[in-house]
Amino acid sequence: MGEFTKGRRWLLGAFIGIGGGIVSLYFYSAGLFLGPLVDEFGWSRSQGSLSLVILTVGLVIAAPVTGQMVDRFGPVRVGVVSAIGLGLSFAMLGLFTVGLISFAVLVLVLSIVGCGSTPLSYNHVVVTHFVQHRGLALGLAMSGVGVGAVVMPPLLSAFIEQYGWRAGYLALATVTVCMALLAGLLLRSSEAQIKKMHNKSSSQLLKVLANPALYTISALIFLASIAVLGTTYHFVAMLTDRGMTLAEAGSFAGLLGVAIFGGRIITGFLLDIIDPGIVIAILLALSAFGMGVLWLGDNRLLYIGAILVGFGLGTEADLLAFLVGRRFHVSQFGTAYGVIFSIHVIGGGFGPLLGGFLFDYSGSYESWLLFACLAMVTAGVIALVTERGRPREVCAVSG
């Protein structure tokens, strides 16, 4: 427990920073705004999902640059400033959205400004301070996403129903800025310690691109992000299509967050003591099975499907941090994470868009759930082939 005793402040700060970042507060709340926006402006669901493509474009552009900024200027400084910018962007969405074009432009601004508030910044802190129990530490830190996945759906859905979607965005802005400032206070003394552990090289990009692990991890993350983020984005809509109110669906979606929290802690613990390739393959298989259960369409099985899907949801981000920290030197973490995170958000933007198109084409989410299930199984096979049996000491951060 020595690492947790010494690093508890860094862990709490990372937890709060991730909870108040774009991954937690934007993505897990986006589905709650989909219905009200479609109703007010007359968009189709695929048009409403187009904002995720815009978000993807912005993050793909910003992530590699942000990763290099994190390695150069420090993760805390980049993360806090970016999160404050994210809060201002939420406020702009609530105040200045007048149609599809203005909404898309504001989402693009949000994605570029808020990129540093992703786990890219805060996981860097965790990877630097935790080695022996890195999997569990990353799982605990990434549980901060539960702020968006567990707390926000029931609270924000009820708030939107009573006060409207514009007020909902202003509420998100307030929460974001407050959490950013709190994370900054907890992590303010971590920056100097992180810089001592870094190489003096001005750029790590060429070294990162020459590492074969960049490409195998990217393939795994791409497939998993398509499946899990596409399913998460449309989950509330799936429930309302089955007769639930928005408030009921939001409360039910909170079950996903509970399963996500448990899954992350258990997975992080297992990654530290069992071959990661086996752990990852089993985890992705469980999530795929949950999507298959939802595909059956039996309302009596919704709880089982939601728990199994939630157990695997968010793993693409957790595994990204763990695998990058395992296969790249700590001084290359921000750069490597930024490059692969771009691949991650491409999948994350494509998944919701594909889900929307398949719904518009078929009138249901059955075809989407089948596709997502197959994508998760393929990702699990890649993990089993490329990560199984790799000696931990070869991949140690000091190597």
pLDDT at 331 over 90: no
Look at the chain and count its residues.
399
pLDDT of residue 114: 95
Instruction: Output the pTM of the full model.
Output: 0.76
Confidence grade of residue 175 (pLDDT, cut at 50, 70, 90):
very high
Confidence check: pLDDT of 321 > 70:
yes
Tell me the DSSP string of 11-45.
HHHHHHHHHTSHIIIIIHHHHHHHHHHHHHH---H
How high is the pLDDT of residue 203?
61
Tokens standing for residue 393: 């000491």
User: And the tokens for 306?
Assistant: 């939601």
Stretch 121-127: mean pLDDT: 90
By the 8 A CB rule, do 145 and 24 touch?
Answer: yes
List the domain range (segments joined by +) for residue 171.
2-395
Output phi, psi for 164, to 5 deg: 100, 160
Q: pLDDT category, 393, cuts 50, 70, 90?
A: very low
Q: Tell me the CA distances in angstroms from 322 to 19, 167, 247, 316, one per residue in order.
A: 18, 37, 35, 10
| CA-closest candidate to residue 80, choices 26, 169, 172, 18 | 18
pLDDT tens digit string along 365-378? 888 889 989 999 99
Evaluate the CA torsion angle 131, 135, 138, 140 in order and state its sign: negative
pLDDT bucket at 169, cuts 50 / 70 / 90 = very high
Angle at 109 between CA 106 and CA 113, to 5 degrees: 145
**CA torsion angle 309 312 314 315 (round to 10):** -160
DSSP notation for 240-266: HHTT--HHHHHHHHHHHHHHHHHHHHH
pLDDT tens digit sequence for 296-306:
766 677 777 77
CA distance 3 to 71: 23
Strand locations in 185-259 (E):
none
Amino acid at residue number 122: Y
Rounded CA-CA distance 295/350 in Å is 20
Task: Look at residue 5 and give its three-state secondary structure.
Answer: helix
47, two tokens: 């048009």
Determine the average pLDDT of the residues in 6-10.
86
User: What burial letters (b/e) apply to 110-129, b meaning 16+ CB within 10 Å?
Assistant: bbbbbbbbbbbbbbbbbbbb
Residue 364: which CATH number?
A: 1.20.1250.20
Higher pLDDT: 171 or 130? It is: 171
Least confident of 118-122, 263-267, 277-281: 263-267
Q: What DSSP state is assigned to residue 398?
A: T
| Helix ranges (DSSP H) in 97-242 | 100-113, 119-129, 134-142, 146, 152-163, 165-187, 191-196, 205-209, 213-241
- Express each pLDDT in 28-77 by its tens digit: 788 789 889 988 998 887 787 777 778 878 988 999 999 989 888 889 99
Q: Is 250 helix (H, G, I), strand (E, B) or coil?
A: helix
How many separate domains does the chain show? 1
